[in-house]
Amino acid sequence: MSYTSRVLEESIEKNANEPEFQQALTEILPTLQPIIEENPQYEQAKILERLVEPERSIIFRVPWVDDKGEIQINRAYRVQFNSAIGPFKGGMRFHPSVNLSVIKFLGFEQIFKNSLSGLAIGGGKGGSDFDPKDKSEREVMVFCQSLMNELYKHLGANQDVPAGDIGVGGREIGYMFGQYKRLTDQFEGVFTGKGIPYGGSLGRTEATGYGLMYMVECMLETKGESLVGKKVAISGSGNVAIYAVEKAQQLGATVITVSDSNGYVYDPEGIDLALVKEIKEVRRGRIKEYVDVRVNAEYVENGLVWSVPCDIALPCATQNELLLDGATKLIENGCTIVAEGSNMSTSLDATHLLLENNVFYAPGKASNAGGVSVSALEMAQNASWTPWTAEEVDVKLRVIMRNIFTNSYNAAEKYGMKGNLSVGANIAGFKKVADAMMLQGAV
């Protein structure tokens, strides 16, 4: 049995109740086989056995008092997966579906993504099963403060630097950062995605969505095409989706869908982004409100957004949102590019189907790396007490996304899998981390 198969089998058994983590392991480990064969020292040094085991996992209670005066208890996590190439770095997710398996899959993916960014950031992820959706401003604040009363002990600008993810945006980061500062008396770059008045980077809010479109530009260039005139289907209507819509429109595409967990909107004229921002960023409302204003658009409750014909599909909501049925529809309708804004958007069987049908596919760890990359740029600005302009950040983001594309593309080609960005991204991300671990001894 090959080394990668053996470690996969052992880690699946060891993490028996963690389906999302198992899925990430199954997606990544087998693709590393060629680089493992080329570098027998990795097996000797048990690099894979070490890589699949987080350096530290913290699970803790978050008690808080709701608006009725009742005590509520949530569970929170921080999985500090790998710090071989830099401080732990990765977002916090607040969503009722959060559990250890979800946080571990996200943290594991983050190791490779952060390495691909070319910047000095290790992999980590955290979150809680808290649902900010139905909570008042005060409840969100006291929850964030209570969570930090424990988490602050494990964070630091050179130790572990969280950011946002599903359910965690500028508001939540502000409350968590404020509580960290209060508890430690330190003003340091311990979160990214901070507000601009207190050390946030210009361009971080837009970075994931914009970066995704810069990646799609690179994919199109290989076919001598551009975004002009392309029909783009996007799922989600949160941070990543909104700024993917914005950049896609700026680059000449027509975005025809957005969604949330209740349904999708199909607007053949092109999504009215100002309206989506008003509903989602200002009112924190539901996407179905879109058709109250844009009466010619259609709202489909619980529908399959991937059944809308498009040239390019960009899942930007959550994991496993593009399954076999969706992939089949996309292929039938002539879609030629799928690039993931969300993490592990596509199930393994759906990914295989897309690849078999020559759909050019970019995995989230490559195509959504713009967010964490600008986070690392925020850390650099904080460390030097010097803010950069939005233009400087955007230029750097675009260069980073192009490098990620090229490095992933070239790695796939080198190992005889030309065009398979999934394999390429895994190999390119793995190499730097593995070499850093080798150089640091058995740690």
User: Smallest distance, Å, CB 123 to ligand 2IT?
Assistant: 10
d(CA 140, CA 314) in angstroms, rounded, equals: 30
Q: Determine how β-strand 312-314 pairs with β-strand 88-94.
A: unpaired
Rounded CA-CA distance 148/144 in Å is 6
* Nearest residue to 405 via CA among 375, 362, 376: 362
CA distance 237 to 277: 9
Q: Which residue is nearest to ligand NDP (CB)?
A: 238
Q: How many residues bind ligand 2IT (CB under 6 A)?
A: 11
163 touches ligand 2IT (CB under 6 A) = yes
Report what 211 binds from ligand 2IT, ligand NDP, none; CB cut-off 5-8 Å by kind: none
Q: Which of 82, 237, 318, 343 binds ligand 2IT (CB under 6 A)?
A: 343
Is the alpha carbon torsion for 412, 417, 422, 423 positive or negative?
Answer: negative
**Window 345-384: contact mask with ligand NDP (x via CB under 6 A):** -----------------------x--x-------------
| Catalytic residue (choose from 125, 194, 231, 247) | 125
Would residue 329 show up in a list of annotated catalytic residues for this protein?
no
d(CA 426, CA 222): 20
The yes or no reply on residue 87 touching ligand 2IT (CB under 6 A) is no
Annotate the chain with three-state secondary structure. Answer: CCHHHHHHHHHHHHCCCCHHHHHHHHHHHHHHHHHHHHCHHHHHCCHHHHHCCCCEEEEEEEEEECCCCCEEEEEEEEEEEECCCCCEEEEEEECCCCCHHHHHHHHHHHHHHHHHCCCCCEEEEEEECCCHHHCCHHHHHHHHHHHHHHHHHHCECCCEEEECECCECHHHHHHHHHHHHHHHCCCCCCCCCCCHHHCCCCCHHHHHHHHHHHHHHHHHHCCCCCCCCCEEEECCCCHHHHHHHHHHHHCCCEEEEEEECCEEEECCCCCCHHHHHHHHHHCCCCHHHHHHHCCCCEEEECCCHHHCCCCEEECCCCCCCECHHHHHHHHHCCCCEEECCCCCCECHHHHHHHHHCCCEEECHHHHCCHHHHHHHHHHHHHHCCCCCCHHHHHHHHHHHHHHHHHHHHHHHHHCCCCCCHHHHHHHHHHHHHHHHHHHCCCC
Stretch binding ligand NDP (CB under 6 A), from 59-67, 236-244, 350-358, 415-423: 236-244
With CA atoms as reference, report the closest residue to 335 among 324, 346, 326, 344: 326
Residue of the chain from 7, 98, 121, 166 that contacts ligand NDP (CB under 6 A): 166
Contact flags string 217-256 toward ligand 2IT, x per CB under 6 A: ----------------------------------------
Contacting ligand 2IT (CB under 6 A), which of 7, 15, 85, 89? 89
Count of beta carbons in the 10 Å neighbourhood of residue 205: 22
Binding at 397: pick from ligand NDP, ligand 2IT, none (beta carbon under 5-8 Å per type): none
Of positions 237, 351, 373, 422, contacts ligand NDP by CB under 6 A: 237
Given 164, 174, 189, 200, the residue binding ligand NDP (CB under 6 A): 164
In the complex, the smallest distance separating the C-beta of residue 182 from ligand NDP, rounded to whole angstroms, is 25
The site string for ligand 2IT over 176-215 (x = CB under 6 A, - otherwise) reads ----------------x-----------------------
- Please identify, among the stretches 135-143, 345-353, 371-379, 409-417, the one whose residues bind ligand 2IT according to the rule CB under 6 A: 371-379
Rule CB under 6 A: which of 113-132 touch ligand 2IT? Answer: 113
User: Which range binds ligand 2IT by CB under 6 A, 44-52, 89-97, 256-264, 412-420?
Assistant: 89-97
Q: Which stretch binds ligand 2IT (CB under 6 A): 43-51, 88-96, 243-251, 329-337?
A: 88-96
Q: Which of 54, 86, 87, 91 binds ligand 2IT (CB under 6 A)?
A: 91
From the list ligand NDP, ligand 2IT, none, partner contacted by residue 317 (C-beta under 5 to 8 A by kind): ligand NDP
Query: Please, what is the minimum distance in Å from the beta carbon of residue 209 to ligand NDP?
Result: 8
If the CB atoms of residues 190 and 305 are measured against ligand 2IT, the closer one turns out to be 190
Contact status: 167 vs ligand NDP (CB under 6 A) = yes
Binding-site partner at residue 90 among ligand 2IT, ligand NDP, none, CB < 5 to 8 Å by type: ligand 2IT
**CB nearer to ligand 2IT: pick between 243 and 299:** 243
CA atoms within 13 A on the CB side of 104: 25
Catalytic residue positions, numbered: 125
Write out the residues near ligand NDP by the rule CB under 6 A.
95, 164-167, 208, 236-241, 260-262, 316-318, 341-343, 368, 371
Write out the residues near ligand 2IT by the rule CB under 6 A.
89-91, 113, 163, 165, 192, 343, 371-372, 375
